[in-house]
C-alpha cells in the first residue's frame, strides 16, 4: 500500500507569549518570558507563586457569554485555536466532505478547574448532592474534541488522546497515521491545558516538580542551567491542520511543511522520573527517524522536551548524543519551555508549531534564562542559548515525554513538490 503524504495547511495558537500564531512566533524568536506571578487565584501560601498564564484572555471575545459559562477554560482555549486554524487553512464544509474531516484533540488533565470548583462547593454544603448539570461535560478531557467537531460541523474521526505531557504529540501522530492510511482527508490535531489552580499548583508542588524561584519568575524556567530547580507551569492551546497532500493541492491550499514521521515508546521505568540514560527517549527518536526514512545527519534542529528539571534535561541530552553521535554538535537544540513554561498536555503541539515555523523561516528560537553552565552537560552542544539563530532548517524534530514513561517524537520537514 502506498502511504499518502501529509502536510500542514493551518495553525492555531494561544500561549503565554502570544494569543495567535504571529504573536507566539514573535515571542519565541525574541526570547520573551511568559512567566509572572499568578493572577487566577490567591497563591500567597503556596511554595510556587508564579506561572506562565495567558495574557489578556477573555473567552467572551471569542464565544457567546452564555456558551462560555458552560465550558471549562481548557475547552474555551481549544475552541479559540480551532477557529484560528480553520480560518488559516481555509476549511469550508459547504464545499468539502465533512465526513472526511476529523478532530483528534488532547489534554493531559482536562477540566481540573471545574472539578476543583464543584467539589469545593459540595464540601461547603450540608452533604446534599447539588452539582452543576454541566459539571461532568465541562470536566471530561475528550469534550474539547467534541465541541470542536460540533462548532465546525466536522464528522470524521473524533476522539481525545491522553498521555500526560506527550498527549498532543500523540494526537498529531494519530492524525498523521490516519491520513496517510487514507482514513481521512483533513484532521485538526492538537491539545489544550489550563490547570493553573490551587489543585494544579498544589499537586505539582507536593511532587517537588515545580520551580520555587519566587524571587525571579521571569527567569525561573532555565533548561540546561546548572541551577535549574523544576518546571514552570504554563497554559494555553495549539492546533495543526494536517491534510492529505493530494487533497491540499487539489483545493490550492497554502502548505507550511510536510510531516516526515512520528514515533512512540515507553520508558517502562518510573511513574514520574525518566530513565536515567534516556533509553525511552533514545528509542523514540530512532523510531521517528526510521518512520520518516531519514538519517540522523538529516536533522537540523531539535525542540527538546527540556522542562528545566535536573533529571529530565540530563537524560534527554544523553539520549540525543546516543542517537546523533558527532552530528549532535551540528544540530541546534532549544527548549522553548524556557519562554512558554510547560503546557503539559498542550506542550507537544505548541512545540511542534515552533518546529514548523523554524522550517518555514529558517530560524531556531532560543533557550533563554541561561546563567551557569552545567559541568555534567557537554558544552560543545549548541543549546541556542540567549538568542534565536538563523540557519537552514530542512528537518526539525520535536520531543515530548510524559509522566508514566510515555515518549512521543515528531519530525517536520520542508515541503518539496
**Residue pLDDT, tens place only, 8-48:** 999 999 999 999 999 999 999 999 999 999 999 999 999 99
165 part of the active site: yes
Cα distances (angstroms) measured from residue 393 to each of 23, 138, 350, 353: 21, 41, 18, 14
Three-state secondary structure call for residue 297: helix
Cα–Cα distance for residue pair 391/305, rounded to 1 Å: 21
121's grid cell: 462547593
The C-alpha cell 532549544 sits at 334
**Per-residue pLDDT at 353:** 99
**Residue pLDDT, tens place only, 62-95:** 999 999 999 999 999 999 999 999 999 999 999 9
Percent of the chain clearing pLDDT 90 (strictly above): 99
Instruction: Name the DSSP class of 367.
Output: B
Phi (first) and psi of residue 212, to 5 degrees:
-115, 30
Radius of gyration (C-alpha) of the chain in whole angstroms: 20
Stretch 155-178: mean pLDDT: 98
Domains of the chain in start order, with CATH, are 7-250 (3.40.47.10), 261-413 (3.40.47.10)
Residue 139: closest CA among 129, 131, 151: 131
Check whether 396 has a pLDDT greater than 90. Answer: yes
| Sequence-ordered list of residues with C-beta below 8 angstroms from that of 413, at least 6 positions apart, any chain | 257, 258, 260, 292, 294, 359, 394, 395, 396
Q: Which of 43, 52, 165, 257 is catalytic?
A: 165
Stretch 177-185: mean pLDDT: 98
The vertex-114 CA angle with 109 and 119, nearest 5°, equals 110
Lowest mean pLDDT among 273-277, 318-322, 337-341: 273-277
* CB atoms inside a 10 Å sphere around CB 94: 6
The C-alpha cell 516538580 sits at 209
**Per-residue pLDDT at 172:** 98
**Residue pLDDT, tens place only, 189-240:** 999 999 999 999 999 999 999 999 999 999 999 999 999 999 999 999 999 9
**Per-residue pLDDT at 71:** 98
**Per-residue pLDDT at 1:** 79
* CB atoms inside a 10 Å sphere around CB 120: 11
Stretch 175-193: mean pLDDT: 98
| Sequence-ordered list of residues with C-beta below 8 angstroms from that of 192, at least 6 positions apart, any chain | 74, 75, 77, 78, 81, 105, 107, 144, 236, 237, 238, 345, 346
Q: Which helix (H) or strand (E) holds 243?
A: strand 236-244
The vertex-352 CA angle with 270 and 18, nearest 5°, equals 110
Cα–Cα distance for residue pair 394/363, rounded to 1 Å: 11
N-term to C-term CA, the chain? 21
* CB atoms inside a 10 Å sphere around CB 92: 10
Stretch 282-292: mean pLDDT: 98
**Residue pLDDT, tens place only, 328-371:** 999 999 999 999 999 999 999 999 999 999 999 999 999 999 99
Give the global pTM: 0.98
Amino acid at each position: 500500500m502506498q502511504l499518502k503524504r501529509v502536510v500542514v495547511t493551518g495553525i492555531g495558537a494561544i500561549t503565554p507569549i502570544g494569543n495567535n500564531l504571529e504573536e507566539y512566533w514573535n515571542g519565541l524568536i525574541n526570547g520573551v518570558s511568559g512567566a509572572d506571578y499568578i493572577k487566577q487565584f490567591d497563591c500567597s501560601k503556596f511554595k510556587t507563586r508564579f506561572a506562565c498564564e495567558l495574557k489578556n484572555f477573555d473567552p467572551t471575545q471569542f464565544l457567546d457569554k452564555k456558551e462560555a459559562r458552560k465550558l471549562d477554560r481548557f475547552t474555551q482555549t481549544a475552541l479559540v485555536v480551532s477557529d484560528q486554524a480553520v480560518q488559516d487553512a481555509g476549511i469550508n464544509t459547504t464545499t468539502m466532505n465533512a465526513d472526511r474531516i476529523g478532530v483528534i484533540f488532547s489534554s493531559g488533565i482536562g477540566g481540573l478547574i471545574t472539578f476543583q470548583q464543584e467539589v469545593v462547593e459540595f464540601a461547603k454544603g450540608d452533604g446534599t448532592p447539588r452539582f452543576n448539570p454541566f459539571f461532568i461535560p465541562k470536566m471530561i478531557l475528550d469534550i474539547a474534541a467534541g465541541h470542536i467537531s460540533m462548532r465546525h460541523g466536522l464528522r470524521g474521526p473524533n476522539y481525545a488522546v491522553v498521555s500526560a505531557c506527550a498527549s498532543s504529540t500523540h494526537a498529531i501522530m494519530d492524525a498523521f497515521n490516519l491520513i496517510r492510511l487514507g482514513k481521512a482527508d483533513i484532521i485538526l490535531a492538537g491539545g489544550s491545558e489550563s490547570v493553573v489552580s490551587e489543585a494544579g499548583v498544589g499537586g505539582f508542588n507536593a511532587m517537588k516538580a515545580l520551580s520555587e524561584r519566587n524571587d525571579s519568575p521571569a527567569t525561573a524556567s532555565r533548561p540546561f542551567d546548572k541551577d535549574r530547580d523544576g518546571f514552570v507551569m504554563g497554559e494555553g492551546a495549539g492546533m495543526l491542520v494536517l491534510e492529505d497532500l493530494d487533497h491540499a493541492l487539489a483545493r490550492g491550499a497554502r502548505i507550511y511543511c510536510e510531516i516526515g514521521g512520528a514515533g512512540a515508546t515507553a520508558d517502562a521505568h518510573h511513574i514520574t522520573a525518566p530513565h536515567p540514560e534516556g533509553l525511552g527517549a533514545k528509542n523514540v527518536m530512532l523510531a521517528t527517524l526510521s518512520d520518516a526514512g531519514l538519517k540522523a545527519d538529516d536533522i537540523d534542529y531539535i525542540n527538546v522536551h527540556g522542562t528545566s528539571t535536573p533529571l529530565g534535561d540530563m537524560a534527554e541530552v544523553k539520549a540525543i548524543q546516543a542517537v546523533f553521535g558527532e552530528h549532535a554538535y551540528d544540530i541546534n537544540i532549544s527548549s522553548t519551555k524556557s519562554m512558554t513554561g510547560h503546557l503539559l498536555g498542550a506542550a507537544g503541539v505548541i512545540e511542534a508549531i515552533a518546529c514548523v515555523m523554524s522550517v518555514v523561516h529558517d530560524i531556531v528560537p532560543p533557550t533563554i534564562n541561561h546563567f551557569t553552565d552545567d559541568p555534567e552537560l557537554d558544552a560543545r552542544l549548541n543549546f541556542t542559548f540567549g538568542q534565536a539563530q538563523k540557519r537552514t532548517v530542512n528537518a526539525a524534530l520535536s520531543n515530548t515525554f510524559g509522566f508514566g514513561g510515555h515518549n512521543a517524537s515528531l519530525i517536520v520537514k520542508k515541503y518539496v513538490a
